[in-house]
Amino acid sequence: MSQNIEAEEVNRLSYDTDKLRYEIFSKLENNWLFGYDDHKLWIPQLLQELVGSPIQSMTGNKTAAVEGSPRGKVCILSIDGGGMRGIIAAQALAYLEDALRRKSGNPNATIADYFDVAAGTSTGGILTSMLFANDGTGRPMFKAADTLKFLAEKGKKIFNPSGFLSRLSGVAPAYSTKSLERLLKACFLRPDGKSLTLKDTLKPVLIPCYDLSSAGPFLFSRADALETENYDFNMWEVCRATAATPGFFTPVSMTSVDGQTACTAVDGGVVMNNPAAAAITHVLHNKQEFPFVNGVDDLLVLSLGTGQFDRTYERTHVRGWGSFQWAKPMMKIVLDGVSDTVDHVISMAFGDNRHNYVRVQAMGLPSNTVPEMDDPSSWNVKNLLKISEDMLKQKSMETVPFGGKRLLSHTNAERLEWFAEQLVLEHRSRAIRKTPTVVLKQSQTTTATTTAASSPYPSSSSFSE
């Protein structure tokens, strides 16, 4: 009798856990995403019921997250915002891409070959757009190392001070809008002269901003751009919008390529500095492109932070502060707080499958090493590069539901190595798996090239230096 009661209790707890996960991501979906309430858009075509074949692990005695999964796992990349601190995330991306090349045996392997969905906010949105921009041959325009070089070398063009008189008047933003726009336009202009739009990304991308005209978050999405031109925007404008930090840059007044959808945007970091939850809910509810995803068990998620700095404030120090003194500290507190909250929610939702969710973050740095988000000086770039290298050597931290954070035995570099192994294993298994893990929407004009990009093994027309 007691055994039956215990079994019923276990089943009830399992049901309650699944219900909690669904409610968490449904709430995030309702708050942050749009366009997915029309079920006609997301019902896949009738698929023949197939059973996938389990494969042996590449990891020897190690437990592989994707081993034996008949449906496979959708691979998600998320990159936080953080201004010049994006160098920390870019360093992690460069390390991961190098690991993918070593483990796959393919010297041309790129981040875009192994992730099915990518989301990025602010600087993270720029990095995401660069990594998944189609060069016209089905290959990405940039490698991960290029994004690190871009931030380190072009930071002064991103944060180029406005004219002295404009700044002195107090009515102009701190940095030149024209300088940033010129840089982004050049970045997303293909050699054939085409200016890229959201449709021209290799895989689904999600990039948030805050729309002042509707007083709510707005999510730029490749899936929506392929559905209707009303939601297709120029990539340079998307990046300009997600990075339009209030006080740093002017808001962006932009329209879709067909002129039907308007948006007055500021930095997505004010509402979604860590976009991992948006990416997860997009996959869970997008049954057209991800037909066999039933829950977080079918996901493999990598979330990259841009540095968590332990700057503390004593009451005696801040009790006399006014709005001027609080301006910059509050920006850091809000951005880090939002990112941490999302990290906690996702860790709770993954529960026993928390190993499928990897968060890489530079943690525990003393306040005297805190780099400014808008400082592109050679000294600050050198400091950030040093921090990013130290981050790889740091012991990784993991969020424990209702238990704060705990120090793991593995370094961030070791966790990236493990994650690269899982990505390679997953994509190799897709070659023999009967059930399609991902059925991506294709642009009518770029079907051939984007299909080529979905393979983890690049064609001969790979990105050139």
Rounded alpha-carbon distances, angstroms, from residue 296 to 44, 276, 284, 322: 20, 13, 8, 44
- Burial of 261 by CB count in 10 Å (0-12 exposed, 13-18 middle, 19+ buried)? middle
User: Taken in order 415, 416, 419, 424, is the CA torsion positive or negative?
Assistant: negative
Using alpha carbons only, give the angle 156, 162, 163 rounded to the nearest 5 degrees. 125
Q: Is 267 a catalytic residue?
A: yes
Neighbours of 112 (CB within 10 A): 31
Rounded alpha-carbon distances, angstroms, from residue 440 to 288, 290, 392, 397: 8, 8, 33, 33
Q: Spot the catalytic one: 113, 135, 211, 267.
A: 267
DSSP string, 393-452: HSEEEEE-TTS-EEEEEEEHHHHHHHHHHHHHHHHHHTTT-SS-S------TTTHHHHHH
**Residue 208 · residue 268 · CB < 8 Å:** yes
Q: How far apart are CA 54 and CA 66, in angstroms?
A: 9
Phi, psi of 266 (to 5 degrees): -125, 170
Q: How far apart are CA 80 and CA 39, in angstroms?
A: 30
Residues annotated as catalytic (active site), given as ranges: 267
